[in-house]
Amino acid sequence: MNAMEWEHLPEPDLTGRTVVMTGASDGLGREAALQLARWGAELVLPVRSRSKGEIVAQRIAHETGRPDAVRLTHLDLADLDSVRHGADEIARTVGDRGIDLLISVAGVVSRRRGTTADGHELMMGVNALAPLLLTELLLPRVRERIVIVASQSHTFGRIDLSDPHFRRGGWSLRAAYGRSKLSTMLWGRDLADRLQARGTGVDLQLVHPGWVLTNLQNATGSARLDRLVTDVTRPIAMSAVRGAAAVLMAATQPLPPGSYIGPDGRGALRGRPTFLRRSPAALDRELAREVAAWARTEVGLADG
């Protein structure tokens, strides 16, 4: 367990608990899935690539000795129809047992302005809007906790609800990724508050995993340059195994509702998971309500 730097927290027992987690086909989500399975969880993993999902499922079966620990479903977060169908498939797969933990890890960095099947700016669509829709559609089945991976990059995001998808210009990787993650922090905060007010017994936690060496860093457009960036940053950034620790803490430890968990090192780049401070914008309850209402309308939820 030392590789996870988990030794300062009690190890959970997730035997018989159902965990639904996106983003488990690669990166830090893959490592988090393995650890959750080691702790006994039954995993339902919605993935867009069946073949990548099967590799993860085989690894988990091999390492845990539980051939049925993982069930795969299909989900493409860049297409809200796929999210609706994906939520139905997840609901059928978990059946009456429901979902103990719903964890949204999947995310994307794009070096050019792309769009989703619904015409949304790609990072806004995949990182913020689709996870909101998936969460809301599955909410009635969640029994314990929702975990949403956002990012400390929310600190350089700016909300502009007059042009949220950069259709009038101003797109840059930094501006769009930051905006997508700030939007996630805001709807996450709003939903955490609403869950608490409703007294549902379900809470919501937000996560920044730290600076983690994964595919996400490969955004230069050149394989050689990507390798160079990876080599240069290797001594500073965390491995995917260690990057999973904040997700695992947020998923399994007793925490105040609506906490924001990430590494304790300088700039929240690396370290052991702890409580992080968020930007003033991410703490703005009025902005959170506005962004959540906008996002709910954008994904076609009735009471947007």
Ligand X SMILES: NC(=O)c1ccc[n+]([C@@H]2O[C@H](COP(=O)([O-])OP(=O)(O)OC[C@H]3O[C@@H](n4cnc5c(N)ncnc54)[C@H](OP(=O)(O)O)[C@@H]3O)[C@@H](O)[C@H]2O)c1
Give burial (CB, 10 Å; 0-12/13-18/19+) of 91.
Answer: middle
The answer to whether residue 177 is catalytic is yes
Nearer to ligand X, 234 or 285 (CB): 234
Out of 34, 44, 60, 76, the residue judged to bind ligand X by CB under 6 A: 76
Counting contacts by CB under 6 A, is residue 278 touching ligand X? Answer: no
The least CB distance from residue 27 to ligand X, in Å, is 2
Out of 12, 27, 157, 164, the residue judged to bind ligand X by CB under 6 A: 27
The least CB distance from residue 21 to ligand X, in Å, is 10
Counting contacts by CB under 6 A, is residue 271 touching ligand X? Answer: no
Counting contacts by CB under 6 A, is residue 26 touching ligand X? Answer: yes
Q: Please, which of residues 204-243 interact with ligand X by CB under 6 A?
A: 208-209, 211-212, 214-216
Nearer to ligand X, 164 or 209 (CB): 209
Nearer to ligand X, 168 or 266 (CB): 266
Catalytic residue chosen out of the listed positions 6, 39, 171, 177: 177
Counting contacts by CB under 6 A, is residue 73 touching ligand X? Answer: no
Out of 11, 38, 40, 52, the residue judged to bind ligand X by CB under 6 A: 52
Q: What is the secondary structure of the chain as a DSSP string?
A: -GGGT-TTSPPP--TT-EEEEESTTSHHHHHHHHHHHHTT-EEEEEES-HHHHHHHHHHHHHHHS-TTSEEEEE--TT-HHHHHHHHHHHHHHHGGG-EEEEEE------SS--B-TTS-BHHIIIIIIHHHHHHHHHGGGEEEEEEEE--GGGGG----TTSTT-TTS---HHHHHHHHHHHHHHHHHHHHHHHHHHT-S-EEEEE---SB-SGGG--SS-HHHHHHHHHHHTTTSBPHHHHTHHHHHHHHS---TT-EEEE-SGGGSSSSEEE----TGGG-HHHHHHHHHHHHHHTT-TT-
Counting contacts by CB under 6 A, is residue 29 touching ligand X? Answer: yes
The least CB distance from residue 162 to ligand X, in Å, is 25
Counting contacts by CB under 6 A, is residue 107 touching ligand X? Answer: yes
- Residue 59 has φ and ψ, to the nearest 5°, of -60, -45
- Single out the segment in contact with ligand X by CB under 6 A; choices: 10-18, 74-82, 162-170, 288-296: 74-82
The least CB distance from residue 5 to ligand X, in Å, is 16
Nearer to ligand X, 106 or 249 (CB): 106
Site of interaction with ligand X (CB under 6 A): 22-23, 25-29, 48-49, 52, 75-78, 105-108, 126, 149, 151, 208-209, 211-212, 214-216
